[in-house]
Chain A
Amino acid sequence: SVLTQPPSVSGAPGQRVTISCTGSSSNIGSGYDVHWYQQLPGTAPKFLVYGNTNRPSGVPDRFSGSRSGTSASLVITGLQAEDEADYYCQSFDSSLSGYVFGSGTKVTVL
């Protein structure tokens, strides 16, 4: 994948976890926005964060995003059992002239 994420992160209920998304000068580093999706097993991805920091209606404020340089992060505070899922970052790449996704991170709630 063009955008690199850690394969897995874990935390106990109530804890805070951070998922990184590392890109390059042709995508995140060029100023293209980063968006985040949550995918529960066997379901379609759900839109979680758009435009680096914004949450669609209905997404809890436990989820927050940020972008800096060639990277972005998704932070989940107050981790809950229902947050156990795969998370993907997404941006645009000027070299490919297309959308790119991160490799995905599995969040496990201990």
Chain B
Amino acid sequence: EVQLVESGGGLVKPGGSLRLSCAASGFMLSRFSMNWVRQAPGEGLEWVSTITHTGGYINYADSVKGRFTISRDIANNSLYLQMDSLRAEDTAIYYCTRDIGTRDDSWGQGTLVTVSS
């Protein structure tokens, strides 16, 4: 069974950093593109970042470019999102997702990040 379990969310002050983790099970990260998608309270979904199955292509939404870094650990079958220079507008539930828009599409339950002083 495919499972994605996010962790690492919490309360952080503006300008601070946080590292989100996504533990994958039931499949190998090296075979699928992975993404982070976020949802601000009461708002819609926003794509944040993608890393392809080879790790050879990485992309970010303009709203996080230069501040967030996506990475993965194949040995531990885990996906990460390093978030630096956090702003109030980064407050959201962050979802780890597999292969958006394909028959293999799968989402975790999300982890809440709150940026507030």
Interface residues of A (CB under 8 A from B): 1, 33, 35, 37, 43-47, 50-51, 54, 56, 88, 90-92, 96-104
Partner of B35, one of A33, A44, A99: A99
- For this complex, 16 residue pairs linking A to B, each with C-beta atoms less than 8 Å apart, are A44-B95, A44-B107, A44-B110, A46-B107, A47-B105, A51-B101, A51-B102, A56-B103, A56-B105, A98-B47, A98-B50, A98-B59, A99-B35, A99-B101, A100-B47, A102-B44
A87 to B45 alpha-carbon distance, docked (Å): 10
| A51 neighbours in B (Cβ, 8 Å) | 101-102
Taking CB atoms and an 8 Å cut-off, the chain B residues in 15-59 that contact chain A are 35, 37, 44-47, 50, 59
| A44 neighbours in B (Cβ, 8 Å) | 95, 107-110
User: What's the nearest-Cβ distance from chain B to residue A47, in Å?
Assistant: 4
Asked if B100 is at the interface of the complex by the 8 Å CB criterion, the answer is yes
Asked if B74 is at the interface of the complex by the 8 Å CB criterion, the answer is no
| B35 neighbours in A (Cβ, 8 Å) | 99
User: What's the nearest-Cβ distance from chain B to residue A68, in Å?
Assistant: 18
Interface residues of B (CB under 8 A from A): 35, 37, 44-47, 50, 59-62, 95, 100-103, 105-110
* Contact A90:B107 (CB < 8 A) given known A98-B47, A99-B50: no
Smallest Cβ-Cβ distance to B61: which chain A residue: A98
Smallest Cβ-Cβ distance to A36: which chain B residue: B101
Partner of A33, one of B47, B59, B60, B101: B101
| B110 neighbours in A (Cβ, 8 Å) | 44
Tell whether, in the assembled complex, residue B100 and residue A35 are in contact, meaning their CB atoms are under 8 Å apart: yes
A95 to B106 alpha-carbon distance, docked (Å): 26
A56 to B98 alpha-carbon distance, docked (Å): 14
Tell whether, in the assembled complex, residue A35 and residue B101 are in contact, meaning their CB atoms are under 8 Å apart: yes
Partner of B44, one of A50, A96, A98, A101: A101
| B62 neighbours in A (Cβ, 8 Å) | 96
Tell whether, in the assembled complex, residue A88 and residue B103 are in contact, meaning their CB atoms are under 8 Å apart: no
User: What's the nearest-Cβ distance from chain A to residue B14, in Å?
Assistant: 25
User: What's the nearest-Cβ distance from chain A to residue B19, in Å?
Assistant: 21
Smallest Cβ-Cβ distance to A93: which chain B residue: B47
Smallest Cβ-Cβ distance to B93: which chain A residue: A44
